[in-house]
Every structure is written in C-alpha cells, then in structure tokens.
Structure 1
Amino acid sequence: MRRLAALYVTLVAALTALPPAVPASAAPGPTVTVTVEQAVTSLPVAPEDRTGYDKTLFSHWTDEDQDGCDTRADVLIQEATTPPDVDARCTAIVGGVWHSYFDKRDYTTARSIDVTQLVPLAESWDSGASRWSAEERQAYANEMEDPRTLVAVAATEVRARGDKDPAQWEPWDDSADCRYLAEWAVVKSRWGMSVDQAELDALITMAAECPTEQITYSRVR
C-alpha cells in the first residue's frame, strides 16, 4: 500500500511538472530568430499556379472575438496612430490618423486606408494556399496573432500593388523596402509558403540592402 501511495505521489508530481497544454490555435513550433537573408534563402522554391483561385475561397472579414468589429475594423483601430471614434456597432470609424508606411504619408480618414494581407490572397494561393483547408485560408485572411500578416496602408498603394510580389512591385517609399522585405519573409515563412524563382531573386537583391535586418516569428503551419 505504501508503495502504491508513493507511486501516486510521484505520478501527481510528474503531471504537475508538465507544461500547460498548447491551445489548438497556437502556432506550432518554436520561435525562430534569423536574418532576413537566411529566411529568404530558406523558403521553398516552386512555380506559381493560380488555377482555381477565387477570392471568396478566403472567408473574410470575420469577427472572431464577437465584439461587433470585424477583422478589418479591428486592424484599423489597432494601427491608428491617433485613435479614432468608433460607434457602438463598429460601422463608423472616424477622427483617427493612420500612417501608411508604403508611401510614408499620414491619412485622416479611414476610407483612404485599406486593410490588406501583406502577401496578397492570390499570391498566397499561388504559393501553397491552394492546398490549405477552408479553415486555414480563413485563419490566414483574418490573422491577428501576428500584426505583420495584415497591414493598414494607403488605398492607392494597395491598388497599385494588386496581387504583385516583390519581383513586380515595391513600396513607393524606398526607405520602406527593408520593412516590407522583412514582413514578406515573416509571412511566407510563418505560413509555410513557397516563392517562385523571380520572386526569390528579387528578395535576395533586396536583402543585400538590409544586411543587419533580423526577424522573429513562430510558424503557423
């Protein structure tokens, strides 16, 4: 009996010492810190294929926390440099100021700002999202865990970028290139996306201008 009691005490102690369970929504894998160049050259290279792409396959904008504000409104509120006034139903966002790092300008109306996936939805489809589940695509399109996935920037810049990758488009403001490169590398690495050869070449060229830039991220998939 004493041996059983001792075994029970040992078992309880071992269970108590175990780390807490990881929520299903938490990003798997450890936190990684690397240079941007290391992140870029570690990305898998594969041809892009847009067959079957439809924006509606990425369900957004959702209201994950059910606070009445959808993801787009949440990002606008969070990224405002001067907090806006928000009505009770989150249908009107007025009076704030937003800094768009794509063009290094401040905007005083929410309608001048677009909330967009840093790696556009079509580009993510080309880079592996075509093989994701509907739940994974929704999670990507609305991700709030890492603020680099979604950005609030000038609507004119978002329209100019469209679905282009860094081989075809860079921010208007040259001083934003290192930040844009770093965030692109984070999102692609975090979500396990690939790059095509032209994109990789452009990213490596950009990384040479940002030799000390480091990124820290945890993989989602």
Structure 2
Amino acid sequence: MTERCCVPANSLRAQTSLAALGIALVLLTVVTSLGIAIADTAIAGADRTPDERRVAAATADQLVAADGPLAARSNVLNQSRVDNFDRAALERSAPPASEYAVSVELADEEIARSGTVQGGTRISRLVVVEARERRTLTPDLTTTDAVTLPRRSAQATVTIDPPAGTTVWTVRANDRVVLHNRSGLHGSYEVPLVPYETTELRFQRAGRLEPGNVTIGYDAPRSTKETLVVTVDA
C-alpha cells in the first residue's frame, strides 16, 4: 500500500501569504510610480501655468492697446492691420513670442503663430474689428447747399466740376472752412474730417449745380464684435 505525503495546512497558508504579499508589493510599486509621475507632471504644470498666463495676458493687452500693432484705438482693431499681421509682427510687438509658442486667433481663425502650440493657457479679449469700404456719393445740390457724411469718416475726396456760369469758392465741414478759392474751386481735393462726429459739407457758390457736378468719395466704417484669443504653450 502506497503511503501519502501530506503537506501541513499551516505550510500551505504560508505559501499563499507569500504569493499574495509579492503581488501586493508589485502593485504598490506600480501605484507609487504612477503617483510620483502624476505628481511630477502636476508640479511641472503648476510651475508652467503662471508664466503662460502672464505672457498670454501681457500679449493680449498689447495687441488691443491703443498703441498696439492691431488697434485703431483701444480695443478696436483695424482690419487692414489684422490682414498684415504675421509671426514677425507678433514677435516684434510681443518679445516673449520668440521664447514661447504663441498663437493669436481672431473670430476663431489663427492670424499669427510662433512655435508649436499643443495646449497651453488661453486668454480672451472682446474687441471690435473695424473695416473701411470706399463709397462715392453724388449729392443733388439743385435745391440745397449741403450734404451730410456719416460718423467715423476721417477723410473725403471732394471733386468739383461746376458748369459754365457757376462758381464754387468755399467748402465748409461743419463750422470749419476746408476749401477756399475766391476765383473758384475746380478739381479733386482731399478734405480731412473729424471722425468722431457727423460731418455736414456745405458748398458756398454762385450759380446752379446739377447732379454730377460734385462727387464725394469717403471711407465708410463697418464694425463687427469679435473675440481675440492668445494661447501660450511653454
């Protein structure tokens, strides 16, 4: 009859405990390593975020400032300047852009970038974008001596071609004399306007003016509200 070898129960329990302890140590090592990695990432991110926010805020403030590279006046951007803005202009106006990855977006469209931006900190500013459209006005001066131009027009081109027997010798913009020639005005003249007020051009004349004897070209403003976003990725 064959004899059986029996392993004591306490020995089996000891082996099982050793195996469980080994697995627990492995899991603890993995969890600890992950925890350290996450903590390092969080610390690095915490160290980087203040610099990103500072640079992003300073760049955004510079771009919307009255003397900034994009602005017609404070928080009002000139569309022509926006169209010509690029990386070189960004780095000239915001020197940190040569050290950090910086992206500038307007109305959800990137207009300039330095470096590769994969994440980073975003700073937004509400702005007005102002574009100008050239318009020509042919006033009917048969029954009046004046024509009114809209606000925010900074300059007008006044062309005077009077018929025979008619003389136009003075043009006033509101209370200012902007053109004067006692012997008569004839040709095209650049007239500066005050952009913050409605301008009435008044023609002092002798004789009759028909439609087409006077034409006025001016830049009419068109404004839209948009969001400027500066993203800095350190």
TM-score after normalising by structure 1: 0.26
Q: Which has the larger radius of gyration?
A: 2
TM-score after normalising by structure 2: 0.25
More helix by share: 1
